[in-house]
Amino acid sequence: MPADKKKLHFCVFPHGGPLAWRIAGSTTEGYLDFEWYKRVARTAEEGLFDALFIADNVAINHWLTGMAAADRIGNAVCFEPFTLLSALAAVTEHIGLMATASTTYNHPFHVARMFASLDHLSGGRAGWNVVTSKSPSEAANFGLLDEIKSADRYVRANEFVDVVKGLWDSWDDDAFVRDKQTGAFYDASKMHPLNHAGAQFRVEGPLNVPRPPQGHPVLCQAGQSEDGLNLAARTADLIFNNKHSVEGNRALRADVRARAAKAGRDPDELLFMPGVFVVVGGTEEEARRKITDARDSVDETTAKRFLQPFLPSIDLMPMEFDAPPPDTPDVREAAGSMGVVLEEDGRRLSIRQLCTSFGNHWRQFELVGTPEQIADRMAEWFEAGVIDGFNLMTLTNPDGYADIAEGVVPLLQKRGIYREGYEGKTLRETLGLSRPGLG
């Protein structure tokens, strides 16, 4: 197998869905238990995974779930991502550390400084999941009566990212000479104040942190709207999505690559990673039983209260739990705009299946079976040339990741599409991305 053959990349999304904490074997205090995070991160390193991805919101209840089900939600409370990832940086060596940070409820100077610091602390392993924070509950924490309109959030986000990248370029890599003889701590000719004056921000700079080891920490984006896709194409290295098929991924990839080329970027610099929910069993039946047991861990009332805000045009409460919701234009439209996929393999899903798959794993595409079946399916998607890797969710962590590391990874290695060891030091090197030069 040629050493330079393209390899699959794995990110891990350890928080699971909002109702996953009730599944047998799930940790109930996981999101506030540092030892648990350590085990997850170390399992990911044993599996030679690329990065740990910490989703985040700046409000107690997860976006869009509505207050009716808020007290049922496991990730209602969690650590602030930078604090957590700084601590994890000290107990890990290779795994990338990706924090979610909002462009709506932060200032670019703070964000540039935090990511530059995390990148230095971790030896070049920081990544930024750029989000624009769409929920009213987040707006309410920052003195607003309602969420900011999507278009306005993205206008701010575009300028925000440009300012952050500009601040990361405040210094040449070799600006800090620290010469005791001459007394020069830095070479002033290698300092580049930003002097940014735009419609949204005025930022003089320079940043009070040296240039990050990666030049720019890795940027990732998961926005699915037109504006979200344009922001991703213009600025992101890594694109997460929730597409459930090879065809869906092919179309998204072609679309975003065309947008990137139009924005003057090399489309090969963008990596695409759909979310997948992986459940491994000794046999397919055993793996399927794990999913059914997980479904049964959520009671009908909670499940319906949880899904209700996603399908506002119907009243779920009186409906049969094991039948699909009505197939009406209203339902289809609401589901489409909220990202609720109503069918799988041509079959309409029951309300129970919709609620629990949403609650347990945000309706990520399900890959369920033996290690061989899962490796075959991953290879099929990868070899179709439509994805670069997967953002992995499992039923319970870290054992779900251990199942992948021990069962699936060796099979992918045998096919020559998974690394045999970490080749580089930084997250960019691990992902095969180039280091940006000074802008």
Ligand X SMILES: Cc1cc2nc3c(=O)[nH]c(=O)nc-3n(C[C@H](O)[C@H](O)[C@H](O)COP(=O)(O)O)c2cc1C
Going from the C-alpha of 400 to that of each of 25, 393, 404, the distances in angstroms are: 10, 8, 7
The amino acid sitting at 90 is: A
Tokens of 35: 């030892």
Distance CA 63, CA 48 (A): 32
131 lines the binding site for ligand X (CB under 6 A)? yes
- Segment contacting ligand X (CB under 6 A): 240-248, 298-306, 345-353, 413-421? 240-248
Least CB distance to ligand X at residue 97 (A):
14
- Considering only 61, 242, 356, 357, the residue that binds ligand X (CB under 6 A) is 242
Interface with ligand X, residue 394, by CB under 6 A? no
Q: For residue 221, which phi and psi values (nearest 5 degrees)?
A: -145, 140
**Burial class for 336, CB neighbours closer than 10 Å (0-12, 13-18, 19+):** exposed
Q: Which residues of 400-424 are buried (b: 16+ CB within 10 A; e: fewer)?
A: bbbbbbebbbebbbebebbbeeeee
Does position 295 bind ligand X by CB under 6 A?
no
Contact 430, 424 (CB under 8 A): yes
Residue closest to ligand X, measured at CB: 228
Residue 126, amino acid: A
**389 is a site residue for ligand X (CB under 6 A):** no
Answer yes or no whether residue 81 interacts with ligand X by CB under 6 A: no
**Binding ligand X by CB under 6 A: which of 224, 245, 297, 413?**
224
Q: Minimum distance from CB of 299 to ligand X (Å)?
A: 26
Determine the size of the site formed for ligand X (CB under 6 A).
21
Q: Is 223 in the site for ligand X (CB under 6 A)?
A: yes
| 262 three-state secondary structure | helix
87-106: contacts with ligand X (CB under 6 A): 100
Give min distance, CB of 131 to ligand X, in A.
4
Q: Which is nearer to ligand X, 13 or 171 (CB)?
A: 13
- Locate the DSSP E strands across 281-417: 343-344, 347-348, 365-369, 389-394
Would you count residue 325 as binding ligand X (CB under 6 A)? no
For the chain, the straight-line distance linking the first and the last C-alpha, in angstroms and rounded, comes to 37
Q: Does 228 bind ligand X (CB under 6 A)?
A: yes
Considering only residues 45 through 74, tell me which ones interact with ligand X, judged by CB under 6 A: 55-57, 63
Report the residue from 26, 43, 133, 158 that binds ligand X according to the rule CB under 6 A.
133
For 148, 375, 427, the CA distances from 409, given in Å and listed in that order, are: 43, 8, 19
In the complex with ligand X, the residue whose CB is nearer, 169 or 366, is: 366
Rule CB under 6 A: say whether 75 interacts with ligand X: no
Question: What are the residues binding ligand X (CB under 6 A)?
Answer: 55-57, 63, 100, 129, 131-134, 150, 222-225, 228, 240-242, 275, 391
